[in-house]
């Protein structure tokens, strides 16, 4: 029995939503509720005001715009899975969506909620990092601004989102020829498990040479991270799987209830090497 007496506002437009958030910054945004309702039920959060975003149409939809794919903040995991646009441009994000929760969670849980909740194990985070995603934030006073996903996560559960802001959309660059991507989630079982480790990689090859590498890991530390040392080492040559060993310069895995640091370290190197080997052929 959830006893919250929070006052709830259900805006019909983005403008109305942003104005409400600005005039009462303590207001807690509600998208699909799959994180928020759990927190409230467990008495970890007792908001006095809730902003129900579910009816704001401007926050929905997946469209192509000038070389970018725009995903409204309210896009659900189920919508990601069924999008033909994303199947072409961001298959790794679709795969991540398929491994997220179970049907009931995917039908309600949103991309904006996954980002704002900022769990380092959030399954959308490695794909969005590897695909050079950009988060669009809106405020009533300052309008819209865009933050590259890598600069969105500031610390454990800390994001660049200001108190008067909402996430409005996520932008992904359209896929470029020669891009190959890979997603892998390591958990206790396929469905409904929180990642021990998740990985998304992207390489672009021209004439056998890697011209761009993006390697992103989730659930290894307080924030999702990119393996910059390995990325730089990969770029400019053919795919060399042994470079996976350099990963230890980039990651310092945590130990928690789900896994030990040693396991995470070994698993991360193995997942990366396995993918690089399959690319090297």
Partner 1 sequence: MKLSFVVNGQPREAEVRPMARLLDVLREDLRLTGAKEGCGEGECGACTVLLDGQSACACLVPAVQAQGATVLTVEGLGDDPRLARLQEGFVRCGAAQCGICTPGFLMTAAELCQKGQVLSRAEVRDAVAGNLCRCTGYQKIIDAVEEALCADQPR
State which of residues 79, 95, 123, 231 lies at the interface with ligand FAD (CB under 6 A).
123
Between CA 16 and CA 50 the distance in angstroms is 14
Out of partner 1, ligand FAD, none, what residue 114 binds, judged by CB under 5 to 8 A for its kind, is ligand FAD
Please, which of residues 51-80 interact with partner 1 by CB under 8 A?
A: 52, 54, 78
Out of partner 1, ligand FAD, none, what residue 122 binds, judged by CB under 5 to 8 A for its kind, is ligand FAD
State which of residues 13, 192, 206, 209 lies at the interface with partner 1 (CB under 8 A).
192
Supply φ then ψ for residue 179, to 5 degrees: -80, 130
Q: Count residues contacting partner 1 (CB under 8 A)?
A: 31
State which of residues 18, 34, 152, 182 lies at the interface with ligand FAD (CB under 6 A).
34
Range in contact with ligand FAD (rule: CB under 6 A) among 98-106, 150-158, 172-180, 225-233 = 98-106
Range in contact with ligand FAD (rule: CB under 6 A) among 31-39, 171-179, 244-252, 273-281 = 31-39
Query: Using an 8 Å Cβ cutoff, are 137 and 166 in contact?
Result: yes
State which of residues 18, 20, 36, 267 lies at the interface with ligand FAD (CB under 6 A).
36
Which is closer to ligand FAD, CB of 31 or CB of 93? 31
Q: Which two tokens stand for residue 266?
A: 């070994």
Write 180-185 long-range contacts (CB < 8 A, 24+): 180/204, 180/205, 180/279, 181/90, 181/91, 181/92, 181/127, 181/130, 181/131, 182/92, 182/275, 183/92, 183/93, 183/95, 183/96, 183/99, 183/126, 183/127, 184/271, 184/275, 185/96, 185/99, 185/123
The verdict on 1 binding partner 1 (CB under 8 A) reads yes
Q: Count residues contacting ligand FAD (CB under 6 A)?
A: 29
Cβ neighbors of 211 (< 8 A, separation 6 or more) are 178, 204, 205, 235, 236
Residue 208 gets the label, from left (phi > 0), alpha (psi -120 to 50) or beta, of: left
Query: Using an 8 Å Cβ cutoff, are 192 and 123 in contact?
Result: no
Range in contact with ligand FAD (rule: CB under 6 A) among 6-14, 111-119, 203-211, 272-280 = 111-119
Q: What DSSP line would sit under 117-171, residue for residue?
A: H--TT-TTHHHHHHTT-EEEEEETTTEEEEEEGGGTEEETTEES--TTEEEEEEE
Range in contact with partner 1 (rule: CB under 8 A) among 98-106, 121-129, 160-168, 204-212 = 98-106
User: Which residue has 């990366």 as its token pair?
Assistant: 272
State which of residues 17, 18, 29, 50 lies at the interface with partner 1 (CB under 8 A).
50
The verdict on 127 binding partner 1 (CB under 8 A) reads no
Which is closer to partner 1, CB of 2 or CB of 208? 2
User: Which residue has 């396995």 as its token pair?
Assistant: 274
In the complex, the residues that contact ligand FAD under the rule CB under 6 A are 28-36, 38, 53, 73, 100-101, 105, 108-110, 112-114, 116-117, 122-123, 161, 166-167, 192
In the complex, the residues that contact partner 1 under the rule CB under 8 A are 1-2, 4-8, 10, 30, 32-34, 37-38, 40-42, 50, 52, 54, 78, 101-105, 107-108, 190-192
């Amino acid at each position: 029995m959830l006893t919250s007496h929070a006052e709830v506002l259900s805006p019909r437009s983005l403008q109305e939503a942003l104005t409400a958030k600005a005039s009462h910054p303590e207001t807690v945004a509600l998208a699909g509720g799959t994180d928020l309702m759990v927190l409230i039920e467990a008495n970890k959060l007792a908001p006095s005001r809730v902003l129900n975003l579910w009816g704001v149409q401007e926050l929905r939809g997946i469209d192509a715009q000038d070389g970018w794919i725009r995903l409204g903040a309210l896009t659900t995991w189920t919508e990601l899975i069924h999008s033909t646009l994303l199947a072409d441009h961001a298959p790794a994000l679709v795969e991540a969506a398929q491994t997220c929760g179970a049907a009931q969670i995917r039908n309600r849980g949103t991309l904006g909620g996954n980002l704002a909740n900022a769990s380092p194990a959030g399954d959308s985070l490695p794909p969005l990092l590897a695909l050079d995603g950009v988060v669009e934030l809106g405020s009533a006073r300052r309008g819209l601004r865009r933050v590259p996903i890598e600069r969105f996560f500031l610390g454990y559960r800390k994001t660049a989102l200001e108190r008067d802001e909402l996430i409005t959309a996520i932008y992904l660059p359209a896929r470029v020829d020669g891009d190959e991507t890979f997603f892998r989630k390591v958990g206790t079982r396929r469905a409904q498990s929180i990642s021990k480790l998740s990985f998304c990689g992207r390489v672009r090859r021209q004439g056998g040479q890697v011209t761009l590498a993006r390697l992103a890991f989730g659930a290894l530390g307080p924030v999702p991270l990119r393996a910059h040392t390995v990325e730089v080492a990969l770029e400019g040559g053919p795919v060399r799987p042994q470079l996976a060993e350099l990963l230890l310069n980039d990651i310092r895995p945590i130990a928690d209830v789900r896994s030990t640091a040693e396991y995470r370290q070994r698993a991360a190197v193995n997942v990366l090497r396995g993918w690089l080997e399959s690319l090297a052929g």
